[in-house]
Amino acid sequence: MVTQRSSALRIALFLSISALLVTSTLAACEGSEDNNAAPTVSSSSPEDGASGVALNTRVSVLFSEAMDPLSLTTAAFVVNQGSTPVSGTVAAGADGTTAIFTPTNSLAGNTVFTGKITAKAKNPAGKALASEHTWTFTTGTAADTTPPVVNATSPSRNDTGVPINARISATFSKAMDPLSLKTATFTVKQGATPVPGTVAYGTTGTTAIFTPSSNLAGNTAFTAELSTGVLDLTGNALASAFSWGFTTGTTASKGPAPVGLGLAGNYGVLAKTAISTVPASSVTGDIGISPAAATFITGFSLVADATNVFATSSQLVGKAYAANYAVPTPSNLTTAISNMESAYSDAAGRPTPDFLELGTGNIGGLTLVPGLYKWTSTVTIPVDVVLSGGANDVWIFQTTGDLTMSAGKNVTLSGGARAKNIFWQVAGKATFGANSHFEGILLSKTDITLQTGATMNGRALAQTQVALQQATLTQPAP
């Protein structure tokens, strides 16, 4: 009887182990499949739903990885007017991550077009696109003949102490031709000696990034330059070459590359629909609103300047700008809002997070090191949080939900960390409880609210509204 029971136990154990091995093997196979994930389309220009698109535009896409350039043909990249294919040619970028469709003739005006990337687009391993990608855009009535301009650079002009592992980037006023962004048109030099490296097209379509092949020399002056060979998607070149200088420090930075803010970085508060205050709030920095008018800036008791270019307020250590003020304010704000949206897309699109679903969204009580963090949930701060890192280190926080900070709680910095290098990308709303303190650049898809007594060292950049309830906001030191 004992022998029979022992035999039965041995058989059961053998079957359990076999089942475990089979399960492990299947899991390993599934993991291998994940490591060879199919490529996808990360972004397009014009964007899905865009309107007023120039008649001389060219259409571009950015892939999640390098593609086989031989697969990027007019069979893989299609543009249709209704059900009729638009005649044109397709070219792949030097690094294989971009493709551009150039119509043979100007597009028809006031017409809806559909872009499509088919499964004929493949990566070098022959793996096809995960699924067919389509999007639509609508043309306007005219061609675009306005040259692009450089709105911002990283490092900034004459910046010092730049990390030796820095990537050099430029943010433009409009979507650029990825084929024109290459080492022949975007150079970095140490004196007269070119720095070897590669040039990539940013996820927003308005950014070019130069990545040196190795760390830059320390305590050394460098010059970056963009030539007139740099074109936008309608074929307009920079009006003149653009160059800027910077000087490295002695150390490397940790974390991802910073998010370029462009002209949005000129504002402490920037919103599209409304900016309100429950007096008396205090903002150190400029505030701006567009496309809404100045009447949607409420509670500040604005006093218009004689030129009507800006307004002032006793609650502002800075100026207020609105879309209905005198030139050049409207165009400056249009660019700033566009740069804010591009910065949001850039932050949201950063891949391969260092930390995924940390604390299942509850980060209270944690000390956070530099890196890319991602959550597919609301992020809460019910207890104080510390961000610990050096002066050049970078944090990017991505969440598809809300950001909520409890009353009286604090985000504090240690080790020399700076608010200008901390980016919070929030797909939902951001709410900071009474008497709380927050650090960093906040990029919200919806609204931002600082409740009574809340303080913020950073920027509140919202795609709807910003509400200050007897709160204090100070834009970060450069």
Q: How many C-beta neighbours within 10 Å does residue 209 have? A: 21
* Domains present along the chain, CATH in parentheses: 41-139 (2.60.40.1220), 150-252 (2.60.40.1220), 263-474 (no CATH)
- Please indicate, yes or no, whether the overall pTM of this predicted structure exceeds 0.95: no
What is the distance, to the nearest Å, from the Cα of residue 221 to the centroid of all Cα atoms in its chain?
28
What is the distance, to the nearest Å, from the Cα of residue 218 to the centroid of all Cα atoms in its chain?
28
Q: What is the pLDDT of residue 240?
A: 98
Q: What is the pLDDT of residue 36?
A: 65
Angle of CA points 321, 259, 175, to nearest 5°: 75
Q: How many C-beta neighbours within 10 Å does residue 341 have? A: 19
CA distance 477 to 179: 36
169: CB partners within 8 A, 6+ apart: 153, 154, 202, 207, 208, 209, 210, 257, 260
At 34, is the secondary structure helix, strand, or coil?
helix
Tokens read off for 402: 């809300």
SS (H, E, C) 86-130: CCEEEEECCCCCEEEEEECCCCCCCCEEEEEECCCCECCCCCECC
Q: What is the pLDDT of residue 13?
A: 37
Q: What is the pLDDT of residue 4?
A: 44
In the chain, which residues have pLDDT < 50?
1-35
Q: What is the pLDDT of residue 214?
A: 97
pLDDT tens, residue by residue, 277-298: 999 999 999 999 999 999 999 9
Residue 292, CA atoms < 13 Å, CB-side half-sphere: 21
Strand 193-194 relative to strand 186-190, pairing = antiparallel
pLDDT tens, residue by residue, 167-209: 999 999 888 999 999 999 999 999 999 999 999 987 778 899 9
Evaluate whether 276 touches 306 at the Cβ level (below 8 Å). Answer: no
297: CB partners within 8 A, 6+ apart: 274, 275, 276, 287, 289, 320, 322
Tokens read off for 59: 């259409």
